Structure 1
Amino acid sequence: MNNYEFTVEEHQVQTRIDKLLTDLIEDVSRSQIQLWIKDGSVQLNNEPVKSNYKVEEADHITVTIPEAVELEAVAEDIPLDVIYEDDDVIVINKPRGMVVHPAPGHPNGTLVNALLHHCPDLPGINGVIRPGIVHRIDKDTSGLLMVAKNDVAHESLVSQLKAKTTKRLYQTIVHGVIPHEHGTVEAPIGRDKRDRQSMAVTDQNGRDAVTHFTVLETFEKYSYITCQLETGRTHQIRVHMKYIGHPVAGDPKYGPKKTLDINGQALHASVLGFTHPRTGEELLFEAPMPEDMSILLKKLQDSR
């Protein structure tokens, strides 16, 4: 069994416990959290709790869940926004809210389930649960992902990521006014020792992480920026922007409770570039900002 322990912090006070745990435990749905609460797997201060309980500061929450098992991903007829496809690679524009691969709490409805229907030959590449997946973006981040359709393509794309030759550019809205046009955050990222479900800048077992950013517009309380990844650590942009005091707007895990309403972080993987694994051609793709984020940005622009 896996045990998770959380102590409620000031900024989390008065959040429903089922919502809080959905934010804290990645890739687990709120309905799954509610089932765990119902069967007693969630304890509040060593006592059972109800899903609608609003947490108080210093509340101690314990979650006991079964060990993760290797799931058998099944093909599902889920529409995909295919930006590019040939015999070797496929580039997808993932919507916000879609999990990339199955996990306990998210056995279906994922990008992998959709890909297995779209590309029936994928199961032999990179294992049962992550067929063809080369990199991932968070559930509530939208944008471009490249997927390998055969072993040769998979090896090539993974090598390009390791060599830092791919181009990955994100659009995001962050809290606060950044006073300079360009910046680089170079700070190692690892598991947060206080919360194993989160990442943090840490010198202890942290892996090197580099994010370059450019400020496009500033507003009274926010900045609209692009971030270019040199490395690809878990939650990298979200952690780095929090580290420099400009957390991503709408981020339920790393941002403030009072933020812009976008049902997830205002973060979009807008540009993806790589070398084609067979032809050697340099490919570059762009995906427009999703509508809800575009509306949010326009409201900020109109309020100036």
Structure 2
Amino acid sequence: MDLEAVRTFVAAADAGRFQDAAAELSVTQQAVSKRVATLEKLLGVRLFTRTPRGAKLTIDGQAFLPHARELLRAEERAVASVRPGRRALRVDVIGRRLAPATLLRDFHRAQPEIQLDVVTLFDAEAAIDAIRSGTIDAAFRAVALPGRQLPDDIEAARVHDEPIQLVTGPRHELATARTVMPAALAGHRIWMPGLVPGTEWAAYYDALAAAFALTIEVTGPDFGTEPLLDTIADSRSLATLVGEQTSFAWPAEHGLRRIAVHNPTPVYPHSLLWHRDNAHPALTALRAHLRSGRFHHSAPETWTPTWAERS
């Protein structure tokens, strides 16, 4: 249905005269008559009768008027839903317990008036496709995987370097260590069943294993964080690696240890990705927030894969 014709009908019904409706809409009286005639033809009924005093609604016109007003209100709501600054900013955080979710929560605490819609997509490829299709506004990802280039319409900025920690059970050989060097992990069994080949996080840990001669096992089904920690807690030989800001809790009787890894400190390179044509003001605010709070690790030396985004 032509909403301009509907708007003209409502203006004529309120004014009672086509001439007055034309003045309100800044069009000619002929244009008002033509729009109303087009609407009447579409509906198959007469909406007005002409009288010496102007235009009077027919019984069909009276029946249609409240629905016409609702159509115009729906139009206003539709426009408002995508007006810059009104639509919630949709951001992919890879996992709700991981560092990107913490970064986004910090942004929300700093600017609570900005509406956010948080999603978790599978990998960088899915995130990039979603950004290009317009289904999300931005994504936190480790980018620039070996042999892959970002599309020309995608921007990326390195926003957070997250140190990696070792998690062991209380009976593990390294359980009492305060820190451990990456090279010292060679020969120990590091179990990470959640690593999926081809993903950016698998590429990161593959590079880490190659750099320091580590043994990272991905055998067995991935039942999630809690079963993984249950197994680590009971094992003398298995350990796992997590990001420093990965959020999880375990029963006190597990006695799990989170041990810092230093000399060098492996850091996971989180980047923010967005479409270069995205003008959402909340995206601009998020980028400014991340630039002002960029993580600078205090360790004298850090490690990250050579392919990691350096922007």
Q: TM-score, with normalisation over the residues of structure 2?
A: 0.24
Structure 1 or 2: larger helix share? Answer: 2
Larger strand proportion of the pair: 1
Rg larger in 1 or in 2?
A: 2
Q: Larger relative contact order (C-alpha < 8 A, sep ≥ 6)?
A: 2
